[in-house]
Amino acid sequence: MFSFLSGPPIAAVTLNPAVDQTINVPNFAVNQVNRVTATRRDPGGKGVNVASILADRGLPVTVTGFLGRENAAIFEELFRRKAILDRFVRIAGATRTGIKIIDDVQGTTTDINFPGQTPTSGDVDALLTETVELATQCDWFVMAGSLPAGAPPALYYDLITQVRTAGGRIVLDTSGPALAKALPAGPTLVKPNIHEMEALCGRTLGNRAAVVDEAQRWRAQYDIQIVVVSLGAEGAVLVAEGAALYARPPAVTVASTVGAGDAMVSGLVAGLHDGLSLAESLRQATAFAAGAVTFIGSGLPAPEALAELTNQVQMEEM
């Protein structure tokens, strides 16, 4: 299942990365003095997490996006350690911090997310130039996560258009207005979760058939080849030309669903990069995601455990 530095690199784009600061506070309470029992800081952001997973799988990865100059070291250390090629545009200030307060006693998680630095128009131009350059080397681009506050709302649209023009393929995973504005650029594959899809179409999609219909509508309307809709613990639906597939994950003990979406995107792009069929790519993505939820933190379980999960995914044609 490993692909050792095979083929052209995959590019992972993170426009709004974050330093993930996890702090453990037993019996966390608002309006109280809270005591921290443990803390850790990890480089994060959806594209960074995907890059990290792909690199762990032995795939060649290049990263870009915006990184604050003041605290780039924690990211640079990750990229060095995982042999990820760093083509991030450095911008003024510090990359934002996302604070996650974990309370093991009450079983709660509280997130406090900063908006992040706004890139200047010069920064945006530098990123577009970098992306055009990378499109000559990379076959697949993953564009994942939110836009930084104050960034041009159509930034994903512009990036996707440039990559497409250069013959590259794009996996897009974002939400809200950033997603709505990006879809008309025609990413190759888009992976909303069910809530993101419902928010865009403005109605509840009550069953899998309704999800397939909406996904087909997106394909037709926006020149998208593949729509994968993730349904949380229920798995995912994939819709493409002449194909509608449903993957049901094996029952697993959930430790944390943080990073499930990133693991799914990683499995999809790794499969497509390696030339797997759509069904096999979806099966792999569902196994990656099921594996990711079995432990806290980002990353995947060991290859043997992953192979076992892959066998246990149930595939259905719809």
Give yes or no for residue 233 binding ligand ATP (CB under 6 A): yes
- Provide φ and ψ at 304, rounded to 5°: -65, -45
Distance CA 162, CA 170 (A): 11
Give yes or no for residue 192 binding Mg ion (CB under 5 A): no
- Provide φ and ψ at 148, rounded to 5°: -65, 150
DSSP annotation string for 83-128: T-EE-PEEESS---EEEEEEETTTTEEEEEE---PPPPHHHHHHHH
228 binds, among Mg ion, ligand ATP, none (CB under 5 to 8 A by kind): none
Stretch that binds Mg ion, among 35-43, 123-131, 246-254, 259-267 (CB under 5 A): 259-267
Residue 104 designated active-site: no
Give yes or no for residue 145 binding Mg ion (CB under 5 A): no
Asked if residues 67 and 43 have their Cβ atoms less than 8 Å apart, the reply is: no
Stretch that binds ligand ATP, among 9-17, 68-76, 108-116, 288-296 (CB under 6 A): 288-296
Beta carbon of residue 247, minimum distance to ligand ATP (angstroms, whole number): 7
Name the β-bridge partners of 68: 91
Give yes or no for residue 110 binding ligand ATP (CB under 6 A): no
Give yes or no for residue 252 binding ligand ATP (CB under 6 A): yes
Distance CA 90, CA 19 (A): 15
Stretch that binds ligand ATP, among 15-23, 162-170, 201-209, 283-291 (CB under 6 A): 283-291
The single-letter DSSP state of residue 251 is P
Residues marked active site are found at 262
Query: Which residues contact ligand ATP (rule: CB under 6 A)?
Result: 193, 230-233, 235-236, 249, 252, 254, 257, 259-262, 264, 286, 289-290, 293
